[in-house]
Amino acid sequence: MKVLKVIPIKKPLDAEVAIPGSKSYTNRALLMAALSGNTVRIKNPLISEDTEAMIGCLRELGIACTLEDGLVTVAGGIDLVSDREYNLDANLSGTTIRFISALSALVPGTKTIHGKPRLNERPIYDLVDALRQLGASIEYLDREGYPPIRISSSELSAGVVKMKGEVSSQFLSALLMVAPRIGDVEIHIEGEQISKPYVDMTIDAMKQCGVTVVNDQYAKYRITAGAKYKMTEYVVEGDVSSASYFAAIAALTGSRITLKNMNPQSVQADMGFLTILAGMGNEITNGENEITIQGRGVRAVDVDMRGCPDQVQTLAVLSAFVSGITSISGVRSLRVKETERVAALERELAKMGVQAESTPDTLTIHGRAPRPAVIDTYWDHRMAMAFTVAGTKLEGMEIRNPDVVGKTFPDFWEKLNSIGIKTEISEREPNIVLIGMRGSGKTTIAKMLSTRLQRTSIEIDDEVVKKTGMSIADIFAHHGAEYFRNKESEVVDEMLAKENTIISTGGGTILRPHNIEQLKYNAICFWLRAPVEALVERMESDPSSSQQRPTLTDKETPEEETAEVLRQREALYQKAADEVVDTQNKNPGGIVEEVLLKLKARGINVQ
């Protein structure tokens, strides 16, 4: 696996960086071009995995899309789509699967629409429901409410549609953009509309292409019959979302960075992030097609980010460096993105020694002096780019699977290097650390993982025995617990140099915070959790267990001792764990499969 190390800058930068075209506007322009029926030249498009997914789907439908000299030319339009079967692969692009589903309800043929497994876990029910209200024939091919779907109808009827406001604004955007090909369409929003700036972006793009949307205070939208896209050329403005990482770097490091190819009057949602930075005291200056940020530092804030949820990760990383508590609301939609972004943030900030906790719609970060960590990206481009910001100030920050930025910003690392921020790439697989009580199955699972992954397996307790020439029981009997813990910590320190290794810890290794910091630096830490009765049953089935391990309390029965030790350590296991695997009523093979699935979800190679 690739691991990228970010080298902190030694002094503030004074630099310019050209920002690529907006992904959101590029995909909207591609869809509208196909709907227009004209030959449309799209200038300054973003070419990334997400936009390539949209282009690929249009091509599959027979709509010509050519890339040449920084242009995308779309020709033919939906009127030339023939009546046959189509396989439309959205890859990992949420915008593509939503937009292409709406377009597919207007064209002949049987259209099967799907993405990679992680995209198929993102709900699509509300868009399907809205399209069905207009007469679409759509079936779910697997789980109700989720891709893949099959659309067999080829036209939609004008009328009134009801949609929930609290779900993805992409559903509404998809419906708005196809509406001119339907007729008189009125969309009523139930509840409060979230992500309003993204809706504004769609309405703005449609206006640029000749279609007016009547927006009645985000509660009702209307596109009248006769509306038609009148476009032969479309210029994509710079991506504010991509620019935000450089703006954050300026704020954190006191640098002056000018963002070129930007529209200072843009209605893109992430302009709200620049407003947040300005509220922290950073200077934002607008020029002709450029925005300059003079960094003045970061401070704790209390903000609602429903309008720019894609910047929650970046703000959370900045908040790790402030002295105080940052409260972010409006994060509910992040739980159904490329990954469960809120949970991922909590885990990765914890690696940096930063406490974070959440409710369904809030995230709170307790800023302090963060420490470096190796960051898992969970196949999420924004996790990689957001935590890179920390690396410009903090020595030792590393990003696993850095190529995930290709989803929206393929040359992000090159742009970073171009302004003087150096990076180093290496190939390295993380260690897998197993923690848990005596009897939790760490030794068995470690051996099975070692065989399955062809990795070396190490037992911390065995290494202590080798180092001292004594059994664990004898060490406790002759030298005491403190001596054992010191030797254990020495072994743990030696693990820091290990790579691609399965490490099974002792039940009490987590008692010293230093041990966990060392073990987790280049590792994923799994807590094999089991209730007292299961732990006791397993220990009693191993007659050597009581002989090899010392008694740790004055309790009279194994059940009482195990319960007391678990009570003392449970919170420490929870704090140390990157992942929790409940082992009760599971066979070892099933536990191993669950560990492998969790590793794969983090972007770790488990082949």
297 is in an annotated binding site: no
Bridge partners (DSSP) of residue 358 are 363
| Cα end-to-end distance, the chain, whole Å | 11
24 is in an annotated binding site: yes
Q: At what angle do helices 94-104 and 169-178 cross, to 10 degrees?
A: 40
407 is in an annotated binding site: yes
Tokens for 418? Answer: 């171009």
Bridge partners (DSSP) of residue 525 are 433
Q: How many CB atoms lie within 10 A of CB 301?
A: 18
431-460: burial string, b at 16+ Cβ within 10 Å, e else = bbbbbbbbbbbbebbbbbbbeebebebbbb
274-299: burial string, b at 16+ Cβ within 10 Å, e else = bebbeebebeeeeeeebbbbbbeebb
- The yes-or-no answer on residue 310 being catalytic is yes
461 is in an annotated binding site: yes
583 is in an annotated binding site: no
23 is in an annotated binding site: yes
157 is in an annotated binding site: no
547 is in an annotated binding site: no
586 is in an annotated binding site: no
CA distance 102 to 295: 42
485 is in an annotated binding site: yes
Q: How many CB atoms lie within 10 A of CB 554?
A: 8
CA distance 359 to 591: 29
Say which amino acid occupies 136.
A
603 is in an annotated binding site: no
Q: How many CB atoms lie within 10 A of CB 199?
A: 24
304 is in an annotated binding site: no
368 is in an annotated binding site: no
224 is in an annotated binding site: no
Q: At what angle do helices 49-60 and 23-36 cross, to 10 degrees?
A: 10
Q: φ and ψ at 164, to 5 degrees?
A: -75, 135
Smallest CA-to-CA distance from 37 within 99, 93, 103, 84 is with 103
Q: φ and ψ at 398, to 5 degrees?
A: -130, 145
143 is in an annotated binding site: no
CA distance 241 to 247: 10
Tokens for 477? Answer: 């009997």
220 is in an annotated binding site: no
Bridge partners (DSSP) of residue 359 are 362
CA distance 242 to 403: 15
Q: Which position among 50, 126, 310, 380 bears the catalytic label?
A: 310
CA distance 571 to 566: 9
164 is in an annotated binding site: no
162 is in an annotated binding site: no
CA distance 107 to 20: 32
Q: Do 77 and 38 meet the contact criterion of CB atoms below 8 Å apart? A: yes
- Laid out side by side, the sheet with 283-287 consists of 14-18, 256-260, 290-294, 283-287
170 is in an annotated binding site: yes
420 is in an annotated binding site: no
487 is in an annotated binding site: no
Q: Which residues are catalytic?
A: 310
Annotated binding site: 23-24, 28, 94, 122, 168-170, 195, 310, 337, 341, 382, 407, 439-444, 461, 485, 507, 549, 569
Annotated binding site for Mg(2+): 443
Annotated binding site for 3-phosphoshikimate: 23-24, 28, 168-170, 195, 310, 337
